Structure 1
Amino acid sequence: MNVPSVRISMITPALVNGISTERPGRSTHAQTLEHLRVDNRGGGRMILHALVGGDTPLGSRWIWRVFVERGSRPIDSAADVIGSILRARTRSTVPAIVDLIEAIRTWETIRFDVSMEGDSDGFLFQFGSINWTSVQVFAVSFVRQFELRDADGEREALSQVSLEYHYPLDGELDSITSHHSWWFRSDASPFSAWLTSVEQNSLWKVLRSKQAVGFEVSQEWV
């Protein structure tokens, strides 16, 4: 059977008397699979139903459901991807709010190597005063969070990409109550509705008269 190699984003053992030692994110060659059926679910998603050649120590064979995202990218590239999208829109090191929101709208359509189920890919909008920098500032940030799961479907790690503005903390900003709002792919409402609600937040009217002193794109594993 001549099929190309695929990148695995999640593996779920479907036969409990086989012991899976594979991890998400590893690559395998489909030529090693004894049987292969592909379901095209739309939206770039495929599910490979595979009976893997080779016996387990218990003498049974492994059956895996392998979730693959067509054209998905490594999680560690997520910060570089949003950075490239932003640079295509503006040359400013502190992008305008409208440019950032439109960049995020594009970024959300790009898939990374995580499951499309549950809370594996989500977005956070948050703001409030922070004091863990050298100078106390008012921070406004968008975060994209990826959940990496192990072969049993349990959380293994989280990767967060943060897009954060810093504003000098004055009396008006200091009086604003901190806020956060999450959206996950498992939510009933679409991403577009969540992003519209973010755009309608009253904070933006306050920030029209403010000048951000910094903007940072960062990514970390937590």
Structure 2
Amino acid sequence: MPYRPPISEALSFLWEELESGNRELAELTARDVWPAFLRFGRQRFDTAATPDCDGLLFQYGTYAFGGPSMFTLDLTRQFDLNDAEGEHDHYVQVHCELRYEPQASLRNLGTFDAWFFHDADCDLDAWADSLSGHLELLQDHKPAEIILYEEPI
């Protein structure tokens, strides 16, 4: 089996993919971030070989998490971490959030989410293609900010 880096390096891999276009994070749009996220999504990490241990999540909606209401496109990678006995212990999520100023056209999109899991007999390219219509809705909008972070859940 080819080398798979540890999950602890996942956030760094995402940063590297976003920086590979030689543009500042503040200059990027969904059109720039999506291919970088997919390249990150293709990089396999050292996870258990179970169908739900390595997932990608595409989701959006208008939320107010401790601040003003923002439309958020959240591209997330979720890893299932097991304990010494091989049982589920917790998840680690790596997020790339594109936050947009509230606009009626974005609020009217409502909420949406779609998951992809490696090792679950799914095709990453087919999943990505199925989301192209949702991405087109965001192409004309510049995010107010892009935030990358990792969190245990």
Q: Give the TM-score, by structure 1 length.
A: 0.63
Query: 2:149: which partner in 1?
Result: 218
Query: 1:100: which partner in 2?
Result: 33
Query: 1:150: which partner in 2?
Result: 83
Q: Secondary structure, in 3 states, of the residue corresponding to 1:127?
A: strand
Contact 1:90 1:99 in 2 (8 A): no
Query: 1:182: which partner in 2?
Result: 115
Question: Aligned AA for 1:209?
Answer: D
Q: Secondary structure, in 3 states, of the residue corresponding to 1:108?
A: helix
Distance in 2 between the 1:112 and 1:149 partners? 14
Distance in 1 between the 2:40 and 2:142 partners? 25
Unaligned runs of 5+ in 2: none
- Let me know the Cα RMSD of the aligned residues: 1.6
Written as runs of structure 1 = structure 2, the 5 A alignment for 1:61-76 is 70-76=2-8
Q: 1:141 aligns with which of 53, 68, 74?
A: 74
Change (3 A) 1:206 1:105: closer
Q: Shift of the alpha carbon at 1:180?
A: 0.5
Runs (4+) off by over 6 Å:
none
Question: Aligned AA for 1:78?
Answer: A
Contact 2:30 2:139 in 1 (8 A): no
Change (3 A) 1:211 1:134: same
Written as runs of structure 1 = structure 2, the 5 A alignment for 1:158-197 is 158-197=91-130
Return the structure number with greater strand share: 1
Contact 1:162 1:217 in 2 (8 A): yes
Contact 2:94 2:148 in 1 (8 A): yes
Q: Secondary structure, in 3 states, of the residue corresponding to 1:207?
A: coil
Written as runs of structure 1 = structure 2, the 5 A alignment for 1:48-127 is 70-94=2-26, 95-127=28-60
Contact 1:74 1:112 in 2 (8 A): yes
> What are the Cα deviations for residues 31-70 of structure 1, in whole angstroms up to 9, with x where unaligned?
xxxxxxxxxxxxxx2xxxxxxxxxxxxxxxxxxxxxxxx3
Q: Give the TM-score, by structure 2 length.
A: 0.90
Q: Which moved more, 1:132-141 or 1:160-169?
A: 132-141
Change (3 A) 1:205 1:110: closer
Q: Secondary structure, in 3 states, of the residue corresponding to 1:162?
A: strand
Q: 2:131 aligns with which of 181, 198, 215?
A: 198
Q: Which structure carries more relative contact order (alpha carbon 8 Å, separation 6+)?
A: 2
Contact 2:29 2:141 in 1 (8 A): no
Written as runs of structure 1 = structure 2, the 5 A alignment for 1:2-13 is none
Q: Which has the larger radius of gyration?
A: 1
